[in-house]
Structure formats: C-alpha cells, structure tokens
C-alpha cells in the first residue's frame, strides 16, 4: 500500500579500471573531432606509457577491428559496450605495429592482455598514441558517464564511473 512512497535504492556506479598505464585525459583533448566532440560516445582517453591494452573487466570480445588497432568489449552483467581505440587514424597502419591476442567472441578476464602495440613504430609513422575509451551504448543504457583524469595504472585505477538508467 505504501510502496509508491518508498525511495528507490540508487544503483552504485560501475567503476571501469584503466585498460592502459599512462595519463588519463578528457576526450576533448583527443586530436580527432569525432572523439573529442563525443560523436563516438562518452568516455575518456589515455596517453599510454606502455604498449599493452588489457581487459579492464571480465567480458566478451564483441569485435576486433581488422587492422588490430581497436577492440570492443561487452560487460554481460550490464550490457554496456566499450571501444578501446589505440591511437588516432591508426587504421592507416593496416595492422603494422599491433598484435591482437583475442578474437571476436572470446571470453576475457580482467587484466588479460588484449592487444600489444609498438609505441615507437606508431609514433615514427606520425600517428598520435592517445587512446579513446568510449562507452558506445551509453545513450541507451547510462544516465551518467564520468571520467577521472591523471596518472593511471592498468587494471588498478578507476578511469570511468558509469551510472545505469533506472
């Protein structure tokens, strides 16, 4: 009878740990308008300090881009999908400098290496290494996506807090 006056318990935000070691910066600092303006979705970016991208949570590999410079992971518990895009315009490298350790459909564990990349080769080819981390379906599932900036260690520091819609 009094159920309609009960306060709904707010869901605690989902914390996404850094998939890379480096410096987390706002998406607005990405030198690509599609990412910087949020056209690809909400998120954060990391200037990597080492050439290893790891899974920030247990999930499923939704897609590995053919040129191995990007991967999408899905969190089965929330349905949220994340894009990890190593570098800007790096599709032009056609996979050179990238080694993928996963395939579409693979189940991964937090901390598992997804992609290794040769930072020096990518920089020498003239591409920025900044790596956007995008919640691709945030508009559908999330009420809020908040990034944390500063130095981060892969698998240890939280870079995104995501609140799901009620």
Q: How far apart are CA 102 and CA 12, in angstroms?
A: 30
Report residue 154 as tokens. 């892969």
Among the options 39, 69, 85, 101, which is catalytic?
85
Q: How far apart are CA 55 and CA 116, in angstroms?
A: 12
Q: How far apart are CA 26 and CA 79, in angstroms?
A: 24
Q: pLDDT by residue (tens digit) across 118-155?
A: 999 999 999 999 999 999 999 999 999 999 999 999 99
Residue 9 — pLDDT band, cuts 50, 70, 90?
A: very low
Q: pLDDT by residue (tens digit) across 27-38?
A: 999 999 999 999
pLDDT computed for residue 11 by the predictor? 64
- Give the closest residue to 84 by CA, choosing from 97, 93, 74, 73: 73
Q: How far apart are CA 86 and CA 70, in angstroms?
A: 6
- In the residue annotation, 101 being an active-site residue is answered as no
């Amino acid at each position: 009878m009094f159920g309609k006056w009960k306060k709904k318990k707010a869901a605690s935000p989902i914390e996404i740990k850094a998939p890379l070691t480096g410096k987390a910066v706002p998406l607005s600092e990405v030198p690509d308008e599609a990412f910087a303006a949020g056209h690809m979705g909400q998120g954060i970016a990391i200037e990597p300090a080492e050439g290893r991208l790891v899974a920030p949570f247990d999930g499923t590999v939704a897609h590995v881009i053919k040129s191995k410079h990007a991967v999408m992971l899905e969190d089965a518990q929330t349905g949220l999908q994340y894009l990890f895009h190593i570098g800007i315009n790096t599709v032009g490298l056609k996979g050179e400098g990238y080694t993928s350790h996963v395939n579409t459909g693979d189940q991964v564990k937090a901390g598992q290496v997804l992609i290794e990349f040769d930072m020096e080769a990518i920089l020498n080819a003239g591409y920025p290494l900044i790596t956007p981390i995008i919640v691709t379906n945030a508009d559908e599932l999330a009420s809020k996506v908040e990034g944390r900036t500063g130095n981060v260690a892969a698998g240890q520091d939280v870079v995104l807090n995501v609140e799901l819609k009620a």
